[in-house]
Amino acid sequence: MPPLERILPTDEAVALLDLAGEIADAELAGRVEEFEERGEFPREILRTLGRAGLLSLPYPEEYGGGGQPYEVYLQVLEVLAGRWLAVAEAVSVHTLACYPVARYGTDAQRKRFLPDLLGGELLGAYCLSEPAGGSDPAAMTTRAVNDGDAYVVNGTKAWITHAGVADFYNVFCRTGGPGAAGISCLLADAATPGILPQPRERTMGLRSSPVAQIAFDDARLPVDRLIGEEGTGFKIAMAALDSGRLGIAACAVGLAQAALDYAVRYATEREQFGKPIIDFQGIGFLLADMATQVSAARALALAAGRLRDAGRPFSVEAAKAKLFATDTAMRVTTDAVQVLGGYGYVADHPVERYMREAKVLQIVEGTNQIQRLVISRALAR
């Protein structure tokens, strides 16, 4: 199929996308199957990406970031996701984990923490969901009690990507009364005594990406690790998720593009009744719809990213992008399996993995039902 045409804002961005593609081909494409089969997290690969500057792209250069607009960062994520979704998701989660300090930290906190968080050697995680509260984070029960020089944290967080392998965690916990107004955000070193990652979940896809609960048992976090003021944690969490949803949308586009590319190659090489199966309308039209949906998802994600870059409200557009792109990834990967027929159902071809991986994208960073709620409430206003 013809190469993807991208419109990038600068020559530097063009070079950055080329670099991302080179690293993805050299370090990711040939290793994904073995890591997924073993369920092994590719920590060294993430360090390689960090040393290349790909773990800090949308953050200020003065603190060690890449200083790139979000529309460029999203396209780098897309390239990585097309080779190995778990790695792209790891970059997205790390970028999300750096957001609270970068956006809501004091100048002193930014100077102290951001160079290390963005330096490429550390990996972050985001502790918001709980066992009884995924889509309702305002009902969280994990509590932090001020004990003079430290907050003492007790409770359990759930569905934490990078649990047990992250170097730092953003911990959202209750410091005040019930509801959103009682929630605060703390930055925790993963090695803090009392932070106890639990056994990994056994997931349908993304098996090289560790997901687990984290228990907090009298974990003491210094008071200077409070990000923002007490009671502003819910606002911080929701603002971070707006940007994180764009990251997941870009991952979904990259995954869907990979599935489309593979299905097109197969359909042009596979012959039945004396001609390539792409020449049959039943297959050709299916591929045409897949290609159109991927292009539409990419356009929606980049349009939201450009709003963010312009400093304009983008929350609703991020919800639309996450909703449409991840539903598209599920549909396109399912159709790719159908194009391959029986071969699509076996692990000799990657489309069965793509299909399993696409499912989680409809759930993380707010389920797609939550995205519809965000959009419908905006319409009602």
Q: Are residues 194 and 269 in the same domain?
A: no
What CA–CA distance (Å, rounded) separates 381 from 134? 25
Which of 36, 71, 352, 365 is the catalytic position? Answer: 365
Same domain, 247 and 369: yes
2 in any annotated domain: no
- For residue 4, tell me if it sits in a domain: no
CA-to-CA separations, 10 to 54, 65, 146, 304, in angstroms, rounded = 17, 17, 48, 19
In terms of DSSP bridges, do strands 124-127 and 168-174 run parallel, antiparallel, or are they unpaired?
parallel
Report if residue 1 sits inside a domain: no
> In this predicted model, what pLDDT tens digit does every residue of 168-197 receive, in sequence order?
999 999 999 999 999 999 999 999 999 999
The pLDDT of residue 134 is 73
* Residues 218 and 280 reside in one and the same domain: no
Q: Are residues 140 and 260 in the same domain?
A: no
Residue 289 lies in a domain: yes
Q: What is the pLDDT at residue 186?
A: 98
| Shared-domain flag, residues 244 and 358 | yes
Task: For residue 296, give both structure tokens.
Answer: 């539409």
Judgement on whether residues 299 and 225 belong to the same structural domain of the protein = no
- Tell me: the pLDDT tens digits for 117-146? 999 899 999 999 999 877 888 889 999 999
366 and 248 in a common domain = yes
The answer to whether residue 5 sits within a structural domain is: no
Residues 6+ apart with CB under 8 A from 285: none
Return the residue matching tokens 């007490």. Answer: 230
Residue 305's pLDDT is 98
Q: Give the number of domains in the chain.
A: 3
Q: Is 273 exposed, middle or buried (0-12, 13-18, 19+ CB in 10 A)?
A: exposed
Among residues 234, 265, 291, the one where a domain terminates is 234
Report how far residue 264's alpha carbon sits from residue 282's, in angstroms, rounded to the nearest whole number.
13
Q: Tell me the per-residue pLDDT of 198-251, one tens digit each, with 9 for 90 and over.
A: 999 999 999 999 999 999 999 999 999 999 999 999 999 999 999 999 999 999
Which tokens belong to 125?
């995680």
Quote the domain boundaries for residue 139.
124-234
Would residue 365 show up in a list of annotated catalytic residues for this protein? Answer: yes
Annotate 37-85 with DSSP letters as a single string. Answer: HHT---HHHHHHHHHTTTTSTTS-GGGT-----HHHHHHHHHHHHHH-H
Please give the share of the chain, as a percent, with pLDDT higher than 70: 100
Is 259 inside a domain boundary? yes
Structural domain contains residue 52: yes
| pLDDT tens per residue, range 330-341 | 999 999 999 999
Other CB atoms closer than 10 Å to residue 76's CB: what's the count?
27
Residues 189, 284: one domain? no
112 and 227 in a single domain? The answer is no
- Compute the distance between CA of residue 381 and CA of residue 78 in angstroms, rounded to an integer: 33
215 and 157 assigned to the same domain: yes
Q: Domain boundary residue among 118, 144, 172?
A: 118
DSSP string, 78-118: HHHHHH-HHHHHHHHHHHHHHHHHHHHS-HHHHHHHHHHHH
> In this structure, are 258 and 360 located in the same domain?
yes
